[in-house]
Amino acid sequence: MHSVLYWKALGGSVGYLRVITSVIPLSALVCLKGYGLIDERLKQIPWLRYLAMIGIGTWIIFVNFKTYEFPFKLDDDEKVIKETSEWLSKSEYAGRQIFYAMSECLSI
């Protein structure tokens, strides 16, 4: 769903990591189906099966740490939201229901 919204420019999605993480469980199931196919083909050669499992696992871990810095760094919008929420939790408005909307201004 996120990919469709991003493609059609609906909902103001700009690919935030926090948004994309909601898609990870479903993509993990799709990847598991592909891994199952590989595993099934290698059933006859057990040592190659385990070597493939170790190789794929190592590759997944390496790519994650190579692609994203850990701990995650917040972008400017997320920094403002974090500072605001910290202020709000200490203010007289703490415990009240808050409504907010984010909008982005585009300059042409």
For the whole prediction, is pTM greater than 0.75?
A: no
List of the chain residues with pLDDT < 70? 1-3, 5-17, 19, 102-108
What is the pLDDT at residue 105? 53
**Interhelix angle 46-67/24-41, nearest 10 degrees:** 150
Peptide bond into 71 cis (omega under 30): yes
What is the pLDDT at residue 83? 93
Look up residue 34 and give its two tokens. 């592909």
